[in-house]
């Protein structure tokens, strides 16, 4: 006997006040297209598009958030509903984003299949297939645009009505902040987040925070989580049915067996095929409360002055961090400069550091950083650059974390240093080897952590440099 959403979902937190929904109209059109939704899909879509008495989406405040395993058909379920909604309602603007280009391309192809349906084809005006500009445009003025967050898609749009974040387990504060304001002027916005439980190292702070709200039953959002039991035997077919509402009707046992073989490890299978969250997803490497306690209104600028440089992998910006080591071995760190390389270049940094070198004990750059490109020009200006290797980087990151937790590191508040604060919020750790050393993770993340890395390197220089400028231990102008 087919089961309802409430019988299948491990967690179902519904928004209050739902008196109507767009779903009955969507289901009617879907039926004419030859699409039939299972009971759990019907319940999910009814709540996702559920409205209160004022006509606004009941989950318009916190969004519709779905934690679900792979091979369930979530893209087909949500994608078909949104396609039908756009065909029937004029002027809707939808952004559909995934983290990876491949996922975004696959979703676009699925949606193009809907456009080829005999019933729906007459509603479609044109399909644009150019990379980075993939779009399905409808005759009534509605549009669905597709793109990958790893390629920067989503910035600069406005008047967006619906935003769908696929692969939400790889979604950072910066990506969300880039895109959510685009819905500010929509009269009835809807945000949808879909993903599997994150792997260690995934920049999953937003998805984890939404899950936490869902587990607490925060109103104004829809949260649905499908998963097997935490202690599930990965080969237990009954647990497969708990995690995957499409098994065995639409997803075969052979398909799950193939996934079991291809995912490479039981932990990945537990997350991606059984929907089981790790006990601690580690939304940030730096405890926000400990960081907040280090905040000062006016930093102590007397001490040993050091600078660190870093750039994100795409070389879009250059960050200059500053550190001042005080006589009692406390310190201040801050983001001294952060400039767009595409418009400002990097020559300014060479002049800027050369001017301050006589009062500086160290200028530090990591050997693997794109900022290494400025080293030859700094050397020509007689600035001695300290270049960190893997061992140094592990020690520098460890010192930064230790001082934050000990409360011996000062920094300015978030309003004065927004880029540094965003980097701290989004920082995760990556192992450097078998001995337990770690460094800030930047790969696979769309958060720019170069401000944090620059400050970490500056702090390392302030504590390890043997250079003693002539005017040490005096206040310096930062």
Rounded to 10 deg, the angle between the 450-464 and 390-406 helix axes is: 90
**Nearest Cα to 320, choosing from 201, 450, 449, 220?**
450
Alpha carbon distance 170, 403 (integer Å)? 29
The pLDDT, as a whole number, for residue 149 is: 86
The pLDDT, as a whole number, for residue 313 is: 86
Q: How do residues 35-61 score in pLDDT, each as one tens digit?
A: 999 999 999 999 999 999 999 999 999
Going from the C-alpha of 170 to that of each of 174, 194, 202, the distances in angstroms are 11, 10, 6
Residue that wins the pLDDT comparison between 428 and 450? 450
**Nearest Cα to 396, choosing from 306, 298, 336, 276?**
306
The pLDDT, as a whole number, for residue 178 is: 75
| Conformational region of residue 209, where left means phi above 0, alpha means psi within -120 to 50, and beta covers everything else | alpha
Residue 373 confidence class, pLDDT cut points 50, 70, 90:
very high
Are 248 and 208 contacting, i.e. CB atoms less than 8 angstroms apart?
Answer: no
What is the full DSSP assignment across 166-192? SSTTS--HHHHHHHGGGGTT-SS-EEE
The pLDDT, as a whole number, for residue 426 is: 78
H-helix or E-strand containing 205? Answer: helix 205-216
Alpha carbon distance 325, 303 (integer Å)? 5
Whether this prediction's pTM lies above 0.85 is answered by no
Alpha helix ranges (H) inside 357-449: 375-380, 390-406, 418-426
Q: Which neighbouring-strand residues pair with 143? A: 93, 137
Residue 86 confidence class, pLDDT cut points 50, 70, 90:
very high
Are 408 and 447 contacting, i.e. CB atoms less than 8 angstroms apart?
Answer: no
Q: 3-class secondary structure for 49-93?
A: CEECCCCCECCCCCEEEEECCCCCCHHHHHHHHHHHHHHHCCCCE
The pLDDT, as a whole number, for residue 443 is: 38
**Region of poorest pLDDT, from 90-94, 305-309, 432-436:** 432-436
In order of their start, the domains of the chain are 5-272 (3.40.50.300), 288-464 (3.30.420.240)
Which range of 140-149, 150-159, 271-280 scores highest in mean pLDDT? It is 140-149
- Cβ neighbours for 136, distance < 8 A, ≥ 6 positions apart: 83, 86, 111, 112, 115, 124, 127, 128, 143, 144
Alpha carbon distance 105, 113 (integer Å)? 13
Intra-chain end-to-end CA distance of the chain, in Å: 71
Are 461 and 361 contacting, i.e. CB atoms less than 8 angstroms apart?
Answer: yes
Alpha carbon distance 211, 201 (integer Å)? 17
Q: How do residues 339-362 score in pLDDT, each as one tens digit?
A: 999 899 999 999 999 999 999 999
H-helix or E-strand containing 30? Answer: helix 23-33
362-366 sheet: strands from edge to edge: 385-388, 362-366, 304-310, 317-325, 331-340, 409-410
What is the rounded average pLDDT for all residues in the chain? 91
Residue 445 confidence class, pLDDT cut points 50, 70, 90:
very low
Residue 470 confidence class, pLDDT cut points 50, 70, 90:
low
Our CA angle for 333, 336, 342, nearest 5°, is 135
Alpha carbon distance 42, 17 (integer Å)? 18
Q: Does residue 477 have a pLDDT over 60? A: no
Residues 441-466, mean pLDDT to the nearest whole number: 84
The pLDDT, as a whole number, for residue 442 is: 53
Q: How many residues are recorded in the chain?
A: 478
The pLDDT, as a whole number, for residue 201 is: 66
Query: Cis ω on the peptide bond leading into residue 248 (within 30° of 0)?
Result: yes
Residues 140-162, mean pLDDT to the nearest whole number: 88
- The SS3 assignment for 284 reads coil
Are 320 and 309 contacting, i.e. CB atoms less than 8 angstroms apart?
Answer: yes
With b meaning 16 or more CB within 10 Å and e meaning fewer, what string describes 30-54? beebebebbbbbbbbbbbbbbbbee
């Amino acid at each position: 006997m087919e089961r309802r959403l409430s019988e299948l979902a491990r967690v179902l937190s519904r928004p209050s006040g739902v008196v109507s929904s767009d779903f009955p109209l969507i289901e009617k059109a879907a039926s004419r297209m030859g699409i039939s939704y299972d009971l759990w899909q019907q319940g999910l879509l009814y709540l996702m598009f559920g409205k209160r008495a004022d006509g606004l989406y009941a989950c318009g405040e916190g969004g519709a958030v779905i934690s679900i395993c792979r091979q369930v058909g979530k893209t087909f379920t949500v994608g078909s509903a949104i396609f039908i909604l756009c065909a029937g309602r004029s002027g809707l603007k939808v952004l559909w984003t995934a983290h990876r280009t491949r996922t975004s391309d696959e979703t676009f192809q699925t949606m193009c299949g809907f456009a080829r349906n005999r019933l729906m084809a007459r509603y479609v005006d044109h399909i644009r297939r150019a990379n980075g500009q993939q779009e399905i445009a409808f005759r009534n003025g509605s549009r669905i645009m597709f793109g990958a967050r790893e390629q920067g898609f989503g910035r600069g749009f406005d008047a967006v009505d619906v935003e769908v974040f696929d692969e939400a387990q790889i979604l950072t504060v910066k990506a969300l902040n880039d895109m959510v304001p685009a819905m500010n002027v929509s009269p009835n916005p809807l945000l949808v987040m879909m993903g599997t439980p994150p792997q260690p190292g995934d920049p999953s702070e937003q998805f984890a925070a939404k899950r936490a709200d869902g587990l607490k039953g925060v109103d104004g959002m829809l949260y649905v989580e499908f998963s097997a039991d935490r202690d599930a035997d990965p080969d237990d077919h009954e647990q497969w049915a708990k995690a995957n509402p499409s098994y065995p009707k639409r997803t075969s046992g052979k398909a799950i067996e193939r996934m079991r073989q291809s995912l490479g490890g039981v932990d990945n299978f537990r997350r991606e095929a059984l929907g089981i969250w790790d006990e601690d997803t580690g939304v940030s490497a730096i405890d926000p409360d400990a960081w907040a306690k280090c905040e000062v209104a006016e930093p102590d600028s007397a001490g040993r002055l050091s600078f660190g440089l870093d750039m994100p992998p795409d070389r879009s910006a250059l960050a200059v961090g500053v550190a001042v080591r005080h006589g009692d071995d406390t310190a201040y760190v801050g983001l001294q400069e952060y400039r767009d390389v595409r418009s400002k270049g990097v020559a300014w940094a060479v002049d800027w550091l050369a001017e301050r070198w006589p009062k500086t004990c160290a200028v530090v750059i990591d050997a693997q950083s794109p900022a290494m490109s400025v080293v030859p020009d700094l050397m020509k200006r007689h600035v001695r650059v300290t270049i960190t290797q893997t061992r140094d980087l592990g020690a520098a990151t460890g010192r930064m974390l230790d001082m934050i937790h000990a409360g011996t590191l000062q920094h300015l508040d978030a309003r004065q240093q927004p880029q540094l604060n965003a980097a701290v919020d989004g920082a995760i750790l990556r192992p450097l080897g078998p001995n337990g050393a770690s460094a800030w993770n930047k790969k696979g993340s769309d958060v720019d952590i170069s401000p944090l890395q620059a400050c970490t390197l500056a702090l390392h220089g302030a504590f390890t440099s043997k250079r003693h400028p002539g005017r040490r231990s005096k206040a310096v102008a930062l």
